[in-house]
Structure 1
Amino acid sequence: MTALLDVRDLSRRFPVAAGMLHAVDHVSLRIEPGESVGLVGESGCGKSTLVRMLTRVLDPSDGAITFDGAEIGAIPAGRFTHRPERAAIQMVFQDPTDSLNPRFTAFDVIADPLRRLKGPWTRETLRARVEELADMVGLPRPLLGRFPHQMSGGQKARVGIARALGPQPRLLVLDEPTSALDVSVQAVVLRLLDELRRTLGVSYLFVSHDLNVVRLVCDRVVVMYLGRVVESGPVASVFDRPGHPYTRALLDAIPAADPTRVRSRIRLTGEPRSPINPDPNVCRFYGRCPIGQEVCAVTMPALAEVAPEHHAACHFSGGEGPLS
């Protein structure tokens, strides 16, 4: 199967006073048609910079982004706005309040990308399409005339999802889409997103700090640390047998309802290494890693298969060493 999105050795560096900040460093990932991929990692790991490049609002320093067989990474961000692929890659933002124009009604919020990226429309066909999208996300039609401040958090989240689905995208990038919602509303919105993916066949890149959410809605997961992918694979394989100590530390941080099932937890100490002019021969996790050895200080570990379709970048992920 041809991947919908194929990212190869993608990097983004920013000049700073002390040299070059490596925000994203040789990242590769694939998303298949209809697949949901989770992207996780602590703040500062490069998730947001990677998303900005994939949605083509930021140009990469190196690497390739192939979308539906076409190379789009070389298209300048300013020109990509006018490309047909713009409609095929849409985004649902983290805060449904800040991401909606307060001067627009819900109808106008949903209709705006339709006017810009699709059409031509008559007044009747545009209204019919907006109402269809409202029905699709479970937003009552009478709410289409309301402004964002007149709606609840869950209703605003549905408006944001409808807006993103309007141009009929093939890839939806979801940046913490439920983090600003109450827990009870989160569950409803997550079920809605899962149903929409299965019904419409759209692919998801689901950015989240909540690993329980990733386990619930994603097929595969990609773990980033300091600009690099340190682990990737099927959700069940990564969660049940993490191959990288950083992934295991993230999983160990999930509260456990049954104390008897809590395994020996990995606790991280020290500070992250600087992303400015990083040594290409030193593991990015070295110095903070609880199982770091001398080899980690002289050889950068490459992503290697530790299980079917499951890869980790650790010298000790193959069953021989402290992580086993």
Structure 2
Amino acid sequence: MTSLSPSPPQTDTLLQVRDLCKTFSISKTANLHAVDHVSFNIQAGESVGLVGESGCGKSTLIRLVTRLLDVTSGTIQFDNTILSTVAVRQFPKSPHRKGIQLVFQDPTDSLNPRFTAYDTITEPIKRLEGGHDKAQLQARAAELAELVGLPQELLNRFPHQLSGGQKARVGIARAIALNPKLLVLDEPTSALDVSVQAVILHLLADLKERLGMSYLFVSHDLNVVRLLCDRILVMYLGKIIESGPVEQVFNHPRHPYTEALISAIPSFEAKPHPIPLTGEPRSPINPDPNVCRLYGRCPKGEDQCQQVMPTLEEVAPDHWAACHFHN
């Protein structure tokens, strides 16, 4: 298991993110801090969940990792190569481009309506590998369709002729076409019916084992993260505020925000009422570096929280939390 400690990466570390920042200029004097000094690792074959409420910076973070956005500062190291210095426009030419693939949130919006399922699945192969003749492409498309459980006869259909679950399978087949080492999943089941969600989640779990990929799984559904992931990163207003093994974080959360998220999970079991986070979130525009981002909403907030920003500390083996009252 990995940690947020500043120690050198292990030999099996696939992705290492260090002190990553992304700011957006609002005016001459105002900057929005979307991702603020974020650090984490993903090991080869590991599945890491990224959770947090809307606006916390999850989407910006995965766009940085997949090199759809240029970084403001910090480093992204993938497979022992620094990628954060490669400009977004140059990244498609990088040999590491096919090693990081993205499964988008909405399977309908992410598919070209003029492309058949076959065209969509084979497009990344033609663009990033080349050298394949028609027979090889057809064989690979058939192999990928079988892997994701898409009937062969649907390969010639357009997106509007497919169900939501079938479109999700096409998007996954496209993402794994180049045998990536890291698959970034941006809430891949949120736009699907509940019954279809379960099928797609089982498919993703099976593909991870069969193909040996690592996952960075973004979701609002903590139950899904608990089922699919080995570790969890909890993000709030641009910062990682807790990280650790899934079961340890769920059973013994050390940050008030994580406690509140877990307490809000629907359950048939008798349990305490959800922990309320009253008040308004702090602004991510020019945030005070000395004030905890949760101050003002936190039930444990004290004077110290608006004087010293808490930093991530190891509160248990491989379990990190950024709170003055983590014990």
The two structures have a TM-score, normalised by structure 1, of 0.96
Match of 1:166 in 2: 177
Q: How does 1:154-303 map to 2 (within 5 A)?
A: 154-259=165-270, 262-263=271-272, 265-303=274-312
Partners of 1:255 and 1:123 in 2: how far apart? 50
Residue 37 of structure 1 aligns to a residue whose secondary structure is: strand
Residue 145 of structure 1 aligns to a residue whose secondary structure is: coil
* Residue 19 of structure 1: how far off its partner (Å): 0.8
% identical aligned pairs: 64
Residue 20 of structure 2 aligns to a residue whose secondary structure is: strand
Match of 1:322 in 2: none
Partners of 1:230 and 1:263 in 2: how far apart? 23
Q: How does 1:1-324 map to 2 (within 5 A)?
A: 1-2=10-11, 3-17=13-27, 19-259=30-270, 262-263=271-272, 265-317=274-326, 319=327
Q: Aligned letter for 1:308?
A: P
Partners of 2:145 and 2:241 in 1: how far apart? 39
* Residue 289 of structure 1: how far off its partner (Å): 0.5
Partners of 1:148 and 1:13 in 2: how far apart? 36
* Residue 205 of structure 1: how far off its partner (Å): 0.3
Greater than 4 Å deviation, 4+ residue runs: none
Partners of 2:145 and 2:320 in 1: how far apart? 40
Match of 2:5 in 1: none
- Unmatched 5+ residue regions in structure 2? 1-9
* Residue 118 of structure 1: how far off its partner (Å): 1.4
Q: Aligned letter for 1:289?
A: C
User: Would you say how many aligned residue pairs link Structure 1 and Structure 2?
Assistant: 316
Change (3 A) 1:31 1:16: same
Residue 174 of structure 1 aligns to a residue whose secondary structure is: strand
Match of 2:6 in 1: none
The two structures have a TM-score, normalised by structure 2, of 0.95
Q: Aligned letter for 1:314?
A: C
- Unmatched 5+ residue regions in structure 1? 320-324
Q: Deviations over 1:31-72 (max 9, x none)?
A: 000100000000110001111110001111110000000000
Partners of 2:141 and 2:238 in 1: how far apart? 39
